[in-house]
Structure 1
Amino acid sequence: MNFLPWNVLLRKQSGNVTDLPHVFSDLVRAETRLYNGVDARLRNEHGLAASQYLFLRAINDMDKCRVNDLARAIAITVGAVSKGVDRLEAAGWVSRRPNPENRRSSLLEVTPAGRVKLEAATVTFQDALEKWLDNPAIEQLAASLAVLRGELEAADVGRPIG
C-alpha cells in the first residue's frame, strides 16, 4: 500500500492536496491505529480504556460538566456518553451530583480515586503519543488539523445525533 509521506500530505500543490481520498483514508487509518495502540497500553497498564481516559480527562478539565457538555466536547452521542459515565461511576472514578441550576441534569466530577487513575494514565498516554507522534512535521500537522477541526465544528459538520 502506498502512503503519502508527511511532507507530501501537508504540502499544497496548486491549492489542492495531491489525492484527497487517499489523504482521508490515511488520516482515518492513522487515527484508528494510534487510538487502538494507546487503548491497548492504557488497558494493560491501568485497566482503563482510551475512551474512559478521554472522558476522565474532559470531565476533569471542564467546569460544571454535564453529560451533554461531554457529548459535545467528544463529538459522540449523549447515549454513548451516559453509558460511559455510568461505567466510570460504577468504577468509583466519577460521581454525579445534582445540578443546582437545572434539576433535570447532573454535574459530573472526577473522584479522588479517579484523579489518581487519571494522573497515572496520563504518563502512559503521553509516552504512547510521544513514541508515535515524534515527527518533525507534527507541528504543522497539528496546526492543520486544528484549523480543519475548527472549520468542521463551526459549520456543524458531523455532529452526532441523539
Structure 2
Amino acid sequence: MDRRRELFDDLVRAETRIYNAVGERLRVEHGIVTSQFELLRYLGAHADARVADMATVFAAGIGAVSKGVDRLEARGWAARVPNPADRRSSLVRLTASGTALVAAAQRTFDEELERLIAPSLTEEQVDAVAGALGAVRRALEDARIGLPIG
C-alpha cells in the first residue's frame, strides 16, 4: 500500500513541476499559460468542439472551461459559432491566429518536455510510464471517476 502513496506523491509532484516549467516557457515565448495551450491544442485537433465535451476531457467544470474559452476569444484565438445540431449550445473553433499560435507553441511544448524528461527517462521508460498512466486514466474515464460535481 505504501508504494501507491509514493506513486501518488511522485505523480502529483512531478506533474506539478512539469506543468509549471512548461507553463513558464510558454508564457515567456508565446504569452500563454499551460491551460490556454491545452485548450488551444485540443481545439486544433477537434474542430467545432463543444464546451461540455472539453470539460469532460479535461475533468474540469463547464463554467471553468467556458471562462477559459472566453479568454481565448478575447485574445482572438478562438471563436464560438452556433451549433446547427443544438441551438442551445455553440461550437468552438480556432481562428487563423489561434492555429498559428498552436503551431508555434507546440514546438516549444515539445522542446520543453524533451528537456525536462529526457535526462531522467529512456524512451523505453517513457513508453512504460505512458502506457501505465494511460491505462489508469482510461479506467478512471470509463468509470467517470474524478469529474467535478456540478
Using the alignment, how far apart are the partners of 2:47 and 2:129 within structure 1?
29
Task: Work out which structure has the larger RCO, using CA pairs closer than 8 Å and 6 or more positions apart in sequence.
Answer: 2
Counterpart residue identity of residue 152, structure 1: L
Corresponding residue of 2:141 = 153
How much has 1:159 moved relative to structure 2?
1.0
Using the alignment, how far apart are the partners of 1:46 and 1:25 within structure 2?
31
Seq. identity, %: 47
CA RMSD, aligned part only?
Answer: 1.1
How much has 1:155 moved relative to structure 2?
1.5
In structure 2, stretches of 5+ residues that fail to align are: none
Using the alignment, how far apart are the partners of 1:45 and 1:111 within structure 2?
20
* Counterpart among 14, 20, 27 of residue 4 in structure 2: 20
In structure 1, stretches of 5+ residues that fail to align are: 1-15
How much has 1:40 moved relative to structure 2?
0.3
Residue deviations 1:20-50, cap 9 Å, x none?
1111011000000000000000000000111
Counterpart residue identity of residue 23, structure 2: D
How much has 1:64 moved relative to structure 2?
2.9
TM-score normalised to structure 2 length: 0.94
Residue deviations 1:45-94, cap 9 Å, x none?
00011100000011121143011011111111101000000000000000
More helix by share: 2
Question: For 1:145, what is the secondary structure of its paired residue?
Answer: helix
* Counterpart among 76, 82, 99 of residue 92 in structure 1: 76
